[in-house]
Amino acid sequence: MEIQKSISIKQYNSFGINAHANLFAKFSSIKELEEQVELNRQTPILILGGGSNLLFTKDFGGLVLKNEITGIKEIKEDEHHIYVQVGAGENWHQFVLHCIRKGWAGVENLSLIPGQVGASPMQNIGAYGVELKNVFYSLEAWHIPEKKMVNFTLNDCEFGYRESVFKKKFKDQFVITDVTFRLNRIPQFNISYGAIAQELEKMGVKDLSLQAVSRAVINIRSSKLPDPAVIGNAGSFFKNPEVGYAAFEMLKEKHPGIVGYSLPHGHVKLAAGWLIEHCGPAAGTSWKGYRKGDAGCHEQQALVLVNYGNAKGSEIYDLSEAILKSVAQKFGVTLEREVNII
């Protein structure tokens, strides 16, 4: 396994930030991973997947290890489900398309989400009414301190809204090597969220299918979100915040157009994009479409921060800070970044 020194990782992060790694290598097996960690015990290590949820604000002075463990295999089945084990280095969207071709249901609403399979449980990725936890069965991860493999069940992962034990509780302690999904033999279509039903009607779909739902999601995402290959971005930069029902009613009195979705236990999820769009760097302006140098807020979706070419990670971070402060000042709501800051 080749070790590269002082290498640009611009091509390995979807923001296209030209940060450098002191050391860089790829691994395609658990054995290669173990060898590199053992050889670099005194070196800070960053495990890199698709690089679609990272913002590099500086160079990384340690070893960046890119996960390229691949493979998709059916491991068991029962009357209602197929259990599929997938290497953490597989591309997420290509895995979704593979499931659709096979007739395995459950991930079609998660089409076109960037990144690799290994990152999906870390973030508990979600879109259009479906979250990763809905199809998750188990995962295997290598524990760096104890140098051993550990199996995690659904309960072990403690999934929350874009959260899992791997983001905080066990941050930087485990390397996910494969994920096993429990997929449905018979589809249970979920088209009530967002504009899926309208898009299906626009497409002229009469009979629902996995392919049709996936295509509708792809169409919607493509119309709203910039392609990282064209404009550097990491998708949604902020989480949608939650407030109590009473707090939401007070906000609605002051801001009648505010967008919120009812949750169990008397909570309401606010649309972070709406909050950001209705704030700006100055009175009467909006962050949506804002640009300073090559760092900006996308013109079609205020939730997405973008690199128009040669922005530094620190410039995008500073923009996110300004957005956080303006939303807190105007609405009294604290936004939280979804993207991991390096």
Residues with catalytic function: 162, 236, 338
The pair phi, psi for residue 112, each rounded to 5°, is 65, 10
CA 24/CA 154 separation, integer angstroms:
32
Q: What is the DSSP string of 253-290?
A: HH-TT--EEEEGGGEEEE-HHHHHHT--SSTT--STT-
Output DSSP code: residue 225. Answer: S
Say if strands 136-143 and 72-77 run parallel, antiparallel, or are unpaired. Answer: unpaired
Beta sheet of 242-244, edge-to-edge order: 242-244, 267-270, 260-263
CB 220 within 8 A of CB 194: yes
- The bridge status of strand 81-87 relative to strand 136-143 is unpaired
Strand 54-55 and strand 340-341: the pairing is: parallel
Distances (CA, A) of 100 to 106, 187, 241: 9, 11, 32
CA–CA separation, 216 and 218 (whole Å): 5
